[in-house]
Structure 1
């Protein structure tokens, strides 16, 4: 998750939490007999949140229910989008490289992913390779998926990718370590009819 998105996420969560805490605390306090705040819409603990007049005021207006349903649907979609954005494993957009001169440099995460996947794909017996980086800019983690040819020893392919592509990616980015998760999968070829 990018730093800007992380800040926006935390600010939105804090605001939503604060609003819910104030409203919920007010309802609870008034319900338990505390005097209602001056900004509260009701006056004592025996008032209902929506009385009959408020609940049925817009019943005859043809636009009311479609607007309410549309607004609730938009809120649900926004909440689902937010949840998916928070839970999704985000790719690393850039990596901080220590150049040794105190300045540092940034390396595009996509460039390192492409280089890692290309080199892993050139290993004998690897049909296809995909890679993506997660983690922090200063401590990235690699996730590599390898599709192996049918007659390849998985241990040999894993060793070749680890000692080759992953090692080169770590050295190229100037990292002391590059934790990696490598998933291996065998390629299934369709049977061909021989006549």
Structure 2
């Protein structure tokens, strides 16, 4: 969802800046703008002195301007943090036992953990994401269970088999996991 919002906002901002910048450049080069455009010609200004000072004496003007700019700043900072922050763990630090460590790609561990989880009895599909720090990873697991499977049984299998194997093979002291279970919905079929 955030990726879609990010692309839409970047596209819209780019389009607005392209249109405004292109129009300023075109008018500066001598192209006659349409009559409804925000300024008329090469030596015209965007905001005249009268337009700039029109609301200056009103008591609500400056608080409204400052509030609007503060909201825009907060939205821009939120967007920047959301874009820069990584949601997935890129690598996991594996203790090799000799004092040095090895780095394991996060996607590789996710793929193995998802494949082993999908092979568990009653699991139709598994999706795994690693979060946290590279020395203390955590897993987010989503399992799609067959209709006949007991969720407690599937969770026990995941904990004892797939998560334990991943934890042991990566040499981690612990691998906490947030598991979301959902049941597969099959259509009723007519029997003749």
Q: TM-score range by the shorter chain?
A: 0.5 to 0.7
Can you give the 5+ residue segments of structure 1 that lack an aligned partner in the other structure? 1-49, 57-71
Matched, 1:154 2:154: no
- What is the correspondence of 1:100-179 to structure 2 with a 5 Å cutoff? 100-179=97-176
1:52 is aligned, of 45, 49, 53, to 49
Which residue does 1:82 correspond to in 2?
80
Q: Say what the alpha-carbon RMSD is for the aligned residues.
A: 2.9
Which residue does 2:189 correspond to in 1?
192
Can you give the 5+ residue segments of structure 2 that lack an aligned partner in the other structure? 1-46, 54-68
How far residue 193 of structure 1 moved from its aligned partner, in angstroms, is 3.1
Counterpart CA distance in 1 for 2:162 and 2:135 is: 20
- SS of corresponding position for 1:129: strand
Counterpart CA distance in 1 for 2:159 and 2:74 is: 44
After TM superposition, the score normalised by the length of structure 1 is 0.59
How far residue 137 of structure 1 moved from its aligned partner, in angstroms, is 0.5
How far residue 155 of structure 1 moved from its aligned partner, in angstroms, is 0.8
How many correspondences in the alignment? 129
Alpha-carbon distance change, 155 to 168 in structure 1, aligned in 2, over 3 angstroms: same
Moved more, 135-144 or 96-105: 96-105
Counterpart CA distance in 2 for 1:190 and 1:89 is: 38
Counterpart CA distance in 2 for 1:129 and 1:122 is: 9
Counterpart CA distance in 2 for 1:125 and 1:92 is: 28
